[in-house]
């Protein structure tokens, strides 16, 4: 037992011959020991050699060795290392709790040392005091262990700033490493392609809506306009062969079949979007078009084996919820001349067009990966020329069968603004559609389906804002909420694809 009777024996006087010390003296010795034990927490381990042999408390604590093994008393020395303040900070709350326990133990100790000494109460008080010293010992060991671990312990209190800095540094290192792996021409082409996509796609969407709002009626004409610009990439492709010193990619059965499939899907995709722009406001149609991000991700995972992580799944769920919000608020943005059935058709065809758009993205990347390779930019132009040409052929057949060529003259006469306005809408539609598709295909080639999907989704808020400002589209509170939720989904998608470590990838 750690008892103050034994303190007298340690001092050299048998307990049978020397009376108990007065309570005030005993407590003074004990508090000195407790104080020294507390200071010991903040003393360097190497300072153990610097023990003050004249300190009375040495005798006091030596009698406790059987309860607190391997403990030594040291004299506190100032430490000039400022990092100790950081290391001490987490220990302060525990130290205060221990001191509170000491106060209760002292009251118990004082109550036990009364003239009529209760042996059981005295032993209980001694045990409580030793328990307090043991807790201090544990804090001491924790402090020394933290110093051995290094500066990381200083962030234990709030690791968030450190984690943020580490992630930021990881992003910087990843971006710099990625930038250095490609020539500057690669990044110039990628910037031009991304810019063309972000400008041309919103412009083509607005022009499609202008066509219908100003008197146009044909779905096939807008579909035909979307692929009629196939000569534009062809004009760029021809000099590219001479500049890069390359030859045209030889055609084989698989490559031709791939071009035919992509051309047919492109024609069908344009027709579905035409129905959407015929019956829906441009802002609503563009918001529904954001679902192409979902489908490009899913098809990219299934066909190209792209990874999907938790952030991407979160983005898919969020964007789906945004589309549900639009569906529930269908009455607020419906044009007066559009029936319920037409609005529903526009909604459904727009979503189906987005699904097909996502499939085209994934199949295009698959063609690059397996058939064309990523050897040169000329393969992007070749694919775009062939797909647009075949899509143009399929759409022209539909246009002829539906007699829409003959109806173009009558549409031009009745069009708001006359024939010149009608031709301007169609011509600029041809240019913007082709530039947008060319930019998307180039981004897909130069980067991946991920970047193409992100850029294709960023155009959604751009188109919605432009439609409200230029075309005065109705913008209800639900549509604003849907736009915000969609933007949140895009942010989650971008984060999921830009995280340096993707341990949770599926």
- If we measure between CA atoms, which residue out of 329, 354, 335 comes closest to residue 481? 329
Q: What CA–CA distance (Å, rounded) separates 61 from 2?
A: 9
* Residue 27 exposure: Cα atoms within 13 Å on the Cβ side: 15
Higher confidence at residue 55 or residue 394?
A: 394
Higher confidence at residue 444 or residue 295?
A: 295
The pair of structure tokens assigned to 237 is 């492709």
Residue 54 scores a pLDDT above 60: no
The pLDDT of residue 263: 93
Contact 212, 426 (CB under 8 A): no
Q: What CA–CA distance (Å, rounded) separates 423 from 416?
A: 11
Contact 200, 248 (CB under 8 A): no
Residue 227 scores a pLDDT above 80: yes
Question: 162-191 pLDDT, tens per residue?
Answer: 666 766 777 677 667 766 677 888 788 888
Beta carbons within 8 Å of 460's beta carbon, 6+ residues apart: 286, 287, 289, 290, 483, 486, 490
Q: Which of 126-130, 229-233, 458-462 has the lowest mean pLDDT?
A: 126-130
* Residue 154 exposure: Cα atoms within 13 Å on the Cβ side: 8
The pLDDT of residue 292: 79
Eight-class DSSP state of 114: S
Q: Which of 109-113, 229-233, 440-444 has the lowest mean pLDDT?
A: 109-113
Q: What is the mean pLDDT of residues 44-60?
A: 43
- If we measure between CA atoms, which residue out of 114, 262, 194, 216 comes closest to residue 443? 194
Nearest 5°: the CA angle 103, 105, 106 is 65
Q: What CA–CA distance (Å, rounded) separates 466 from 16?
A: 100
Residue 46 scores a pLDDT above 50: no
Q: What is the mean pLDDT of residues 387-412?
A: 90
The pair of structure tokens assigned to 336 is 């007066």
Residue that has been written with the tokens 């045209």 in this structure: 248
The pLDDT of residue 32: 59
If you count them, how many residues does the chain have?
A: 506
Eight-class DSSP state of 65: T
DSSP H helices, 368-417, are 378-401, 404-414
- If we measure between CA atoms, which residue out of 152, 187, 224 comes closest to residue 408? 224
105 φψ region: left (φ > 0), alpha (ψ -120 to 50), beta (else): alpha
Q: What CA–CA distance (Å, rounded) separates 261 from 258?
A: 5
Q: What CA–CA distance (Å, rounded) separates 75 from 60?
A: 15
Largest Cα separation within the chain, whole Å, is: 129
Residue that has been written with the tokens 């400002």 in this structure: 469
Contact 354, 270 (CB under 8 A): no
Q: What CA–CA distance (Å, rounded) separates 497 from 494?
A: 5
Residue 436 scores a pLDDT above 90: no
Contact 108, 124 (CB under 8 A): yes
Q: What CA–CA distance (Å, rounded) separates 11 from 8?
A: 5
Q: What CA–CA distance (Å, rounded) separates 196 from 384?
A: 15
Question: 63-75 pLDDT, tens per residue?
Answer: 444 444 444 444 4
The pLDDT of residue 503: 42
Burial class of residue 341 in the structure, from the number of CB atoms within 10 Å of its CB (0-12 exposed, 13-18 middle, 19+ buried): exposed
Higher confidence at residue 87 or residue 468?
A: 468
Query: What is the residue-wise DSSP string for 450-487?
Result: HHHHHHHHHHHHHHHHHHHHHS-----HHHHHHHHHHH
Q: What CA–CA distance (Å, rounded) separates 239 from 401?
A: 36
Burial class of residue 144 in the structure, from the number of CB atoms within 10 Å of its CB (0-12 exposed, 13-18 middle, 19+ buried): middle
Q: Say whether 135 sits in a helix, a strand or coil.
A: helix
Higher confidence at residue 220 or residue 307?
A: 220
- Torsion angle defined by CA atoms of residues 301, 305, 311 and 313, in that order, rounded to the nearest 10 degrees: 20
Cα distances from 432 to residues 30, 153, 212, in angstroms, run 88, 57, 17
Chain-wide mean pLDDT for the chain?
A: 72
Residue that has been written with the tokens 């890069």 in this structure: 244
């Amino acid at each position: 037992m750690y008892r103050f009777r034994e303190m007298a024996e340690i001092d050299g006087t048998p307990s049978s011959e020397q009376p108990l010390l007065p309570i005030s003296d005993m407590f003074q010795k004990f508090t000195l020991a407790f104080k020294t034990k507390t200071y010991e927490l903040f003393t360097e381990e190497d300072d153990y050699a610097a023990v003050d042999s004249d300190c009375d408390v040495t005798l006091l604590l030596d009698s406790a060795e059987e309860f607190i093994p391997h403990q030594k008393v040291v004299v506190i020395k100032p430490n000039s290392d400022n990092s100790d303040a950081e290391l001490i900070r987490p220990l302060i709350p525990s130290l205060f709790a221990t001191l509170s326990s000491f106060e209760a133990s002292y009251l118990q100790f004082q109550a036990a040392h009364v003239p009529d000494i209760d042996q059981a109460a005295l032993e209980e008080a001694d045990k409580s005091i030793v328990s307090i010293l043991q807790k201090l010992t544990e804090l001491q060991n924790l402090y020394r262990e933290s110093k051995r671990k290094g500066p990381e312990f200083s962030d234990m209190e709030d690791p968030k700033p450190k984690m943020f800095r580490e992630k930021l540094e990881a992003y910087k290192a990843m971006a710099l490493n990625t930038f250095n792996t490609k020539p500057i021409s690669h990044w110039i082409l990628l910037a031009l392609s991304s810019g063309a996509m972000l400008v041309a796609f919103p412009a083509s969407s607005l022009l499609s809506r202008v066509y219908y709002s100003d008197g146009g009626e044909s779905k096939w004409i807008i579909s035909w306009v979307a692929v009629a610009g196939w000569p534009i990439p062809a004009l760029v492709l021809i000099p590219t062969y001479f500049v890069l010193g390359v030859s045209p990619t030889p055609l084989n059965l698989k490559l031709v079949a791939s071009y035919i499939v992509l051309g047919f899907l492109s024609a069908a995709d344009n027709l579905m979007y035409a129905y959407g722009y015929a019956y829906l406001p441009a802002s609503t149609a563009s918001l529904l078009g954001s679902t192409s991000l979902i489908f490009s991700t899913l098809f990219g995972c299934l066909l190209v084996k792209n990874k999907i992580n938790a952030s991407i799944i979160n983005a898919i769920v969020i964007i789906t919820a945004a589309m549900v919000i639009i569906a529930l608020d269908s009455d607020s943005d419906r044009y007066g001349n559009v029936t319920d059935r037409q609005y529903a058709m526009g909604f459904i065809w727009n979503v189906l067009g987005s699904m097909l758009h996502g499939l085209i993205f994934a199949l295009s990347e698959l063609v690059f990966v397996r058939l064309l390779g990523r050897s040169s930019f000329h393969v992007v132009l070749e694919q775009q020329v062939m797909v647009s040409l075949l899509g143009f052929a399929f759409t022209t057949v539909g246009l002829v069968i539906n007699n829409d060529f003959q109806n173009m003259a009558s549409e031009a006469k009745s069009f708001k603004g006359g024939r010149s306005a009608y031709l301007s809408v169609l011509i600029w539609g041809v240019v913007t559609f082709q530039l947008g598709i060319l930019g998307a295909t180039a981004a897909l080639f130069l980067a991946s389906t991920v970047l193409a999907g992100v850029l294709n989704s960023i155009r959604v808020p751009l188109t919605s804002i432009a439609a409200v400002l230029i075309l005065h589209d109705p913008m209800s509170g639900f549509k604003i909420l849907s736009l915000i939720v969609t933007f949140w989904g895009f942010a989650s998608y971008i984060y999921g694809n830009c995280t340096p470590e993707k341990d949770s990838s599926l």
